[in-house]
Amino acid sequence: MVQLILRLKVAPERATAVVRALRAVMSAARWHPGWADAQVDRDLDDPHALHYREEWLTAGDVAREVGSDRFSRLLELMETAAEPPDLRFHFVSEVRGLDYVAEVRGEQNPSVA
């Protein structure tokens, strides 16, 4: 899995319009092969900051997206930021849950008490 994570600072009067534009970019991603999830949020601690996240199944999927017109729209939004945006790609090789806790703790049947 690959996570695209963007933190974007915008002028307060532009926040609603930028959220709307990010949602349009996000909605278009849903129809692309390899898309897994996406989300846009306002930062509760900083009213000027927005967080945008996409998840893709493979590195190939996200590479294809970076070359797409849809991603060009995301880059255009980044150019309107009040400060340089923070864009990161997290290449996640494994995701585990309670099975990992049980393995580390040496337990047979993991459960939440």
pLDDT in tens, 56-70: 999 999 999 999 999
90 located within any domain: yes
65 located within any domain: yes
Helix (H) or strand (E) run with residue 54 in it: strand 49-56
Asked whether residue 111 carries a pLDDT value surpassing 80, the answer given is: no
Range(s) of the domain holding residue 68:
2-105
**Span 1-39, pLDDT tens digits:** 999 999 999 988 888 999 999 999 999 999 999 999 999
> 66 and 87 in contact (C-beta within 8 Å)?
no
111 located within any domain: no
> 9 and 83 in contact (C-beta within 8 Å)?
yes
Q: How far apart are CA 24 and CA 77, in angstroms?
A: 11
Q: How many structural domains comprise the chain?
A: 1
Question: What CATH number should be reported for the domain holding residue 77?
Answer: 3.30.70.100
9 located within any domain: yes
110 located within any domain: no
Strand order in the sheet with 49-56: 35-42, 49-56, 2-9, 86-91
